[in-house]
């Protein structure tokens, strides 16, 4: 499929070169500094996917939109609903922080604290901000690769507006979605509900003789309310919920090779936020106090020893539960238009409870508390040069204190349409509770926290009266004490191999150092009126500096592109392209994976002022290249639906 990407690339570059693009000069983001700031002043690399983008792209799973953004490597083990991860700038999946309305959804019960992105659907999303590079100064642990911040829709210009959609198509897939939002007197609100069901494909590759499909169901809801007590004080309440069931494949007896079987998993996640906002001294001093909590419950239904696929119904094999409670304060002082001080304190407690009903006699428990304080100063000189500096101190109940630093600068030259930016950032992540307390904990030595240092330098240039935006950014991040899994030989046993006597199935250990570095290129514009094009390309190397091998599943080349024609409101015709280059499936670089390119064609057309049709063809060229060794990829698929707005 490489040829399809190569044929499309010059075409899209040609479109963008003459282009006009959306004017990003006034783009405001909140993730880079935890306050609303023009993107050009942050000194950071950040992408924004708007709710309108998600609607144009007819996005179901958030990962489908992320894979069109620079350096975001999405890996999904099979079809929709299977385990999905995102790697930002070559970081491990658990090293990127994911927020929904300010609440962390990284799951402490997973092996590496990663968020379960396979269950995150495009439901009531106003925008998604993807911040790249180490961000521990403002966000603490889990932000070595960057931050994905999902902001849901709330408020509006009317007391009530509603929208709904229904769609269906290939693989016995159907989806229902409905949402409302508005502003009534002193109350802003928004909420939505979502249901998805798909027969999907076999998680184990059909090309290897696996024909049993692995279906998926997901029910979710999101809601938020802001009550303005008066002009200076407001109260926020937010909630997020998902419940899913996904059929999976495994290693059934008697051959114990990856293939069809009737195993399945259930995942539940509940997230809540309650906050108080208060503006003092005429709005110069903004204060926010918030309490957040989350609870996850993951259950796996599979085999007991001695059963075969034809003689049993899957039973509960193991469960993993986790909880997070967090209290935080943030203060922001605005000293004029050009100086801002942001500071805060946070205290978070994570708990972990897991048990294998086959091997364990009792649940494995773990907990940690992290208390943090941070401060950041931003100042703009001569209306052109914005400098930002920040520091954070984390006190971990198991690993003591750690200090993180951040420095960024952005020089804007309005007459030239040029922005030059650079930054340095630290990253810090303690071992996960699973890595510390599960049956795979290290029997030889205490695991060390992972730390990172990242740099970047970039330039963005606008052309044709700000109608075209082009940018290039060089980046580098070095990570120490990376945590990996050591697999003990099983057949034949090696009793003298250190650690394998106590951990015959293997254990987690620190492997040394890794480095990811490369360049991001992006170009966007409007070819002619109502015809927009964009393209980005990342050339990145990710290397284990001890073994001198490529990090697993980190392609050197990734790219994303889109082209959309919107001649009138709610009418669109377009395509998206995502390309993933050659890579290795394993850390020893013994199992290569081929490159692949996915092309989607999409369109919508209004029926009347309230209703419109939409439809798409995914994977137009039917590329079935394995995304992960042994796992299948959905082939060509078609979907149609109807959308309503009132």
Question: How does pLDDT run across 234-271, given as a tens digit for each residue?
Answer: 999 999 999 999 999 988 877 778 898 888 999 999 99
pLDDT at 180: 96
**Residues 198, 203, 206, 212: is their CA dihedral positive or negative?**
negative
Per-residue pLDDT, averaged over 264-291, amounts to 95
Q: How far apart are CA 582 and CA 557, in angstroms?
A: 8
pLDDT at 304: 58
pLDDT surpassing 60 at residue 493: no
Per-residue pLDDT, averaged over 618-625, amounts to 96
Question: How does pLDDT run across 579-608, given as a tens digit for each residue?
Answer: 999 999 998 899 999 999 999 999 999 999
Instruction: Find residue 513's DSSP bridge partners.
Output: 480
- If one counts every other C-beta atom within 10 angstroms of the C-beta of residue 415, the result is 5
pLDDT at 133: 93
pLDDT surpassing 80 at residue 26: no
Q: How far apart are CA 462 and CA 422, in angstroms?
A: 18
Q: What is the dihedral of CA 248, 249, 254, 256, to 10 degrees?
A: -120
Closest to 328 in 3D by CA, of 43, 96, 93, 99: 99
pLDDT surpassing 50 at residue 205: yes
Band of pLDDT at residue 313, cut at 50, 70 and 90 = low
DSSP 138: H
Per-residue pLDDT, averaged over 274-285, amounts to 94
Per-residue pLDDT, averaged over 345-353, amounts to 95
pLDDT at 496: 66
Q: Which residue has the tokens 């070559």?
A: 90
Per-residue CA distances from 527 to 13, 49, 559, 566, 574 (Å) = 11, 20, 20, 12, 13
Contact 57, 74 (CB under 8 A): no
pLDDT at 61: 94
Q: What is the dihedral of CA 253, 258, 260, 263, to 10 degrees?
A: 70
Provide the pairing of β-strand 583-584 with 611-618.
Answer: unpaired
pLDDT surpassing 80 at residue 10: no
Question: How does pLDDT run across 386-429, given as a tens digit for each residue?
Answer: 999 999 999 999 888 999 999 999 999 988 989 999 999 999 99
Q: How far apart are CA 54 and CA 71, in angstroms?
A: 19
Question: How does pLDDT run across 101-117, given as a tens digit for each residue?
Answer: 989 999 998 989 999 99
pLDDT at 228: 96
pLDDT at 141: 86
Write down the CATH superfamily of domain 2-645.
TonB-dependent receptor, beta-barrel domain (2.40.170.20)
In the Cβ-directed half-sphere of 466, how many Cα atoms lie within 13 Å?
11
Closest to 405 in 3D by CA, of 192, 135, 152, 591: 135
pLDDT at 12: 34
pLDDT at 583: 96
pLDDT at 632: 93
pTM over 0.85: yes
pLDDT at 312: 59
pLDDT surpassing 90 at residue 512: no
pLDDT surpassing 70 at residue 311: no
pLDDT surpassing 80 at residue 360: no
Q: How far apart are CA 164 and CA 611, in angstroms?
A: 10
- For the chain, the first-to-last Cα distance in angstroms comes to 42
pLDDT at 14: 33
Please tell me which residue, 39 or 312, carries the higher pLDDT value.
39
Please tell me which residue, 289 or 263, carries the higher pLDDT value.
289
pLDDT at 337: 83
pLDDT mean across residues, the chain: 90
DSSP secondary structure letters along 568-623: ETTEEEEEEEEEE--EESSTTS-SEE--EEEEEEEEEEESSSSEEEEEEEESTT--
Question: How does pLDDT run across 526-585, given as a tens digit for each residue?
Answer: 888 899 999 999 999 999 998 899 999 999 999 999 999 999 988 999 999 999 999 999
- If one counts every other C-beta atom within 10 angstroms of the C-beta of residue 400, the result is 9
Residue 39 phi, psi dihedral angles, 5° rounding: -55, -35
């Amino acid at each position: 499929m490489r040829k399809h990407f190569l044929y499309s690339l010059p075409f899209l570059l040609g479109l963008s070169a003459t282009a006009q693009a959306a004017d990003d000069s006034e783009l405001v983001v909140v993730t880079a500094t935890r306050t609303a700031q023009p993107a050009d002043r942050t000194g950071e690399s950040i992408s924004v996917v708007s709710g309108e983008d998600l609607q144009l792209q007819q996005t179901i799973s958030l990962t489908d939109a992320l894979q069109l953004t620079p350096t975001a490597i999405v890996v999904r083990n099979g079809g929709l609903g299977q385990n999905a991860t995102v790697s930002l700038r070559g970081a491990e999946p658990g090293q990127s922080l994911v927020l929904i309305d300010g609440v962390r959804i990284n799951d402490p019960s997973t092996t590496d604290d990663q968020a379960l992105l396979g269950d995150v659907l495009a439901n009531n999303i106003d925008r998604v901000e993807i911040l790249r590079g180490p961000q521990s100064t403002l966000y603490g642990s889990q932000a070595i690769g960057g931050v994905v911040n999902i902001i849901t829709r709330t408020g509006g210009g009317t007391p009530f507006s509603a929208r709904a959609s229904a769609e269906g198509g290939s693989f016995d897939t159907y989806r229902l979605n409905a949402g409302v939002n508005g502003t009534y007197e002193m109350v802003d609100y928004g909420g939505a509900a979502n249901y998805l069901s798909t027969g999907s494909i076999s998680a184990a590759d059909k090309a290897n003789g696996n024909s049993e499909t692995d279906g998926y169901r997901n029910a979710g809801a999101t809601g938020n309310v802001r009550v303005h007590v008066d002009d200076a004080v407001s109260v926020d309440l937010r909630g997020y919920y998902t419940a899913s069931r996904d059929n999976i494949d495994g290693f059934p007896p008697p051959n114990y090779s990856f293939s069809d079987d009737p195993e399945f998993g259930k995942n539940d996640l509940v997230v809540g936020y309650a906050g108080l906002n208060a503006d003092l001294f005429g709005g110069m001093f903004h204060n926010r106090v918030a309490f957040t909590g989350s609870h996850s419950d993951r259950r796996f239904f599979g085999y007991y020893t001695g059963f075969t696929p034809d003689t049993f119904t899957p039973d509960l094999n193991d469960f993993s539960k986790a909880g997070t409670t967090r209290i935080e304060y943030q203060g922001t002082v605005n000293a004029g238009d050009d100086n801002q001080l942001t500071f805060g304190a946070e205290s978070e407690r994570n708990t972990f409870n897991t048990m294998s009903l086959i091997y364990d006699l009792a649940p494995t428990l773990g907990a940690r508390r992290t208390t943090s304080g941070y401060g950041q100063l931003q100042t703009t000189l001569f209306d052109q040069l914005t400098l930002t500096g920040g520091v954070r101190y984390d006190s971990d109940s198991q690993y003591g204190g750690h200090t993180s630093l951040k420095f960024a600068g952005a020089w804007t030259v309005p007459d030239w349409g040029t922005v030059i930016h650079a930054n340095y950032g630290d990253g810090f992540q303690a071992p996960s509770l699973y890595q510390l307390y599960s049956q795979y904990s290290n029997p030889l030595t205490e695991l060390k926290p992972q730390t990172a240092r990242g740099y970047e330098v970039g330039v963005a240039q606008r052309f044709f009266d700000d109608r075209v935006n082009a940018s290039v950014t060089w980046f580098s991040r070095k990570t120490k004490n990376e945590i990996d899994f050591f697999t003990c030989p099983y057949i034949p046993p090696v009793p003298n191999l250190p650690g394998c006597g106590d951990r015959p199935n293997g254990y987690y250990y620190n492997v040394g150092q890794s480095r990811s570095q490369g360049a991001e290129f992006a170009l966007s514009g409007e070819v002619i009126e109502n015809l927009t094009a964009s393209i980005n390309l990342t050339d990145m190397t990710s290397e284990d500096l001890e073994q001198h091998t490529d990090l697993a599943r980190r392609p050197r080349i990734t790219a994303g592109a889109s082209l959309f024609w919107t001649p009138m409101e709610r009418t669109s015709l377009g395509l998206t392209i995502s390309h993933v280059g050659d890579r290795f499936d394993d850390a020893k670089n013994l199992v290569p994976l081929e490159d692949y390119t996915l092309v989607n064609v999409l369109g919508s057309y209004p029926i009347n002022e309230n209703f419109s049709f939409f439809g798409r063809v995914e994977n137009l060229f039917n590329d079935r290249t394995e995304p992960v060794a042994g796992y299948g990829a959905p082939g060509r698929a078609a979907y149609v639906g109807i959308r309503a707005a009132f």
